Structure 1
Amino acid sequence: MLGVVFLLIGIAGFVPGLMHSPEHVGDVEVTQNFGRLMGLFPVNALHNVVHIVFGIWGIAAYRSYTGARGYSKAVAALYAVLAVMGIIPGLNTTFGLIPLYGHDIWLHAVIAIAAAYFGFVATDRSVGYSSTTTTTNHRI
């Protein structure tokens, strides 16, 4: 599900009607498609592409329980780093490439916490996964 959300958000970042002009560019050097998605989240073309890549990765990971769990662990770690980077001047634009400040900070933290739960805490039973398989023989 998270993969689908990332993919849709990445695509939404390229829809002009969903973008609002930023107050200032600041230290962001990649200004192509730079603005605030839904008036809140600072994004640019690279930020949108990263969301699309995370979306495709998430959709591919959904194919197996192990893949989905690994994806959740990776998202938890990466998004925790992004949340911290967002509060550090100089790193909050990923060296001028991708804006990570403003509302992105809390959003990245929430994503990291949710992904950490599913990657590290949730058990097979709490997510509705059974590690046992059952085969049945059907005769016609």
Structure 2
Amino acid sequence: MATSDRTGVSTGRTRVQTASMVVGAVFLLVGILGFIPGITTNYDQLTFAGHHSEALLMGVFQVSILHNIVHLLFGISGFLFARSVSGARNYLIFGGVIYLLLWLYGLFIGHDSSANFLPLNNADNWLHLVLGLGMVALGYFLSRNRKSPRTSQPR
């Protein structure tokens, strides 16, 4: 929650804004790490897009240049939307929904299919489920109105 000074002026960030920034920072970090040989194995096989990219972030998550760029953009968005409570909430909830849809997409497309343009593997799919659920939960629970009955009644 944001703190208030003696005049009642809000100072600092709310928990949902902080969460948006932390999630954004993690996405930025992942996007950057996807371009670092060694952290990304088979780096010489990194392609722009598609399932032919054999590059693996931390040896587990299949990535491509496009996949890394998406992570970078999602990270920047987390910081931009964190400027307001509603923006942070929307970033987390709608971003989480996007990741849940991406999880479903990854489950139903063939991993060797040309439709696997990001690319995605099983590890990516399950990570997207966890990210989606986590982001939606953060956005919802950290932005709920928690006024006590006494403060919500008119005077």
Asked if 1:12 is matched to 2:33, the reply is yes
Asked if 1:103 is matched to 2:133, the reply is no
Q: C-alpha separation between the residues in 2 aligned to 1:116 and 1:71?
A: 9
Q: C-alpha separation between the residues in 2 aligned to 1:9 and 1:39?
A: 13
Give 2:84's match in structure 1, choosing from 64, 84, 87. Answer: 64
Q: C-alpha separation between the residues in 2 aligned to 1:121 and 1:85?
A: 26
Partner AA of 2:50 in structure 1: V
Q: State the number of aligned residues.
A: 121
Identity among equivalent positions (%) equals: 36
Partner AA of 2:78 in structure 1: G
Q: C-alpha separation between the residues in 1 aligned to 2:34 and 2:28?
A: 10
- Residue 97 of structure 2 is matched in structure 1 by 77
> What runs of 5+ residues in structure 2 fail to find an aligned partner?
1-21, 147-155
Q: C-alpha separation between the residues in 2 aligned to 1:124 and 1:94?
A: 45
Within 5 Å, which residues of 2 pair with 1:121-132? 121-122=141-142, 123-125=144-146
User: Residues 40, 29 of structure 1: CA spacing in aligned structure 2 closer, same or farther, 3 A cutoff?
Assistant: closer
Other structure's SS at 1:17 match: coil
Asked if 1:28 is matched to 2:57, the reply is no
TM-score where L is the length of structure 2: 0.68
> What runs of 5+ residues in structure 1 fail to find an aligned partner?
126-140
TM-score where L is the length of structure 1: 0.75
Deviates more, 1:116-125 or 1:46-55: 116-125
Cα RMSD after superposing both structures: 2.7
- Cα distance, 1:17 vs structure 2: 1.6
Q: C-alpha separation between the residues in 1 aligned to 2:116 and 2:130?
A: 24
Is the 2:111–2:121 contact (alpha carbons within 8 Å) kept by the matching residues of 1?
Answer: no
